[in-house]
Amino acid sequence: MASVARSLTTCIFCKIVKGEIPSFKLVETDLSYSFLDIGPLSRGHALIIPKDHAAKLHELPNEYLADAMPIAKKIAAAQGLENYNILQNNGRIAHQEVDHVHFHVIPKPSASDDEGLVVGWPAKPADKEDLKALQQELASKLSKL
Ligand code: 5GP
Ligand code: ZN
């Protein structure tokens, strides 16, 4: 059962869902709305948003999450994408500009940094003892959530 959808009068994505701001709509369900990004990283860059105002992923009821990913698959399939990124940012320093949960579908048509997502990946070797302690802490907390 879907929760009662919240919306914010000031949120641009809530306004897009309500049709108060125009958008290039792709697919709509009872729980989700998808449309082309107005500032695409590549041609076909799309956004999927829940029809519920939650700023960050952990604030969003699960049924909206379950509805969104099949739409991402459809948008990738409709474009015949083989290379693409699904991106979802939470918080300003994690590159979230619009405080309404959204999933990006970003085609990566070539290896060029000029189109599609460009990812920094500052991986470092992990300390095994630290990994073990962290795993124990998180596994314990996760079993209670
Ligand atoms: P974020 O950085 O928050 O993960 O991504 C926000 C995305 O929303 C950006 O890619 C930006 O281009 C897109 N966006 C912002 N405002 C609008 C709008 O009014 N219409 C559409 N279609 N996309 C928008
Ligand atoms: Zn909103």
pLDDT at position 2 is: 53
- The model's confidence at residue 5, banded by pLDDT at 50, 70 and 90, is confident
- Does the beta carbon of 89 lie inside 6 Å of ligand 1? yes
Any catalytic annotation for residue 45?
no
Q: Quick one: average pLDDT of 74-82?
A: 98
- Does the beta carbon of 96 lie inside 6 Å of ligand 1? yes
Question: Is the per-residue pLDDT at 3 higher than 90?
Answer: no
pTM of the model: 0.95
Identified catalytic residue from 45, 53, 102, 104: 102
**Which ligand is nearest to the Cα of residue 21, counting in written order?**
1
**Which ligand is nearest to the Cα of residue 20, counting in written order?**
1
pLDDT at position 102 is: 98
- Pick from 26, 34, 42, 47 the residue to mutate for probing ligand 1's pocket: most ligand atoms within 8 Å of its CB: 47
Ligand 2 centroid from CA 115, angstroms: 28
* Span 21-36, pLDDT tens digits: 999 999 999 999 999 9
* Span 98-141, pLDDT tens digits: 999 999 999 999 999 999 999 999 999 999 999 999 999 999 99
Cβ atoms 47, 35 nearer than 8 A: yes
pLDDT at position 99 is: 98
Which H helix or E strand runs over 54? none
- Does the beta carbon of 39 lie inside 6 Å of ligand 1? yes
Q: Taking the domains of the chain in order of start, what are their residue ranges?
A: 2-120
Longest alpha-carbon distance in the chain:
53
Enter the CATH code of domain 2-120: 3.30.428.10
Better pLDDT: 4 or 58: 58
* Span 13-22, pLDDT tens digits: 999 999 999 9
**E strands in 1-145:** 25-28, 32-36, 46-50, 84-87, 103-107
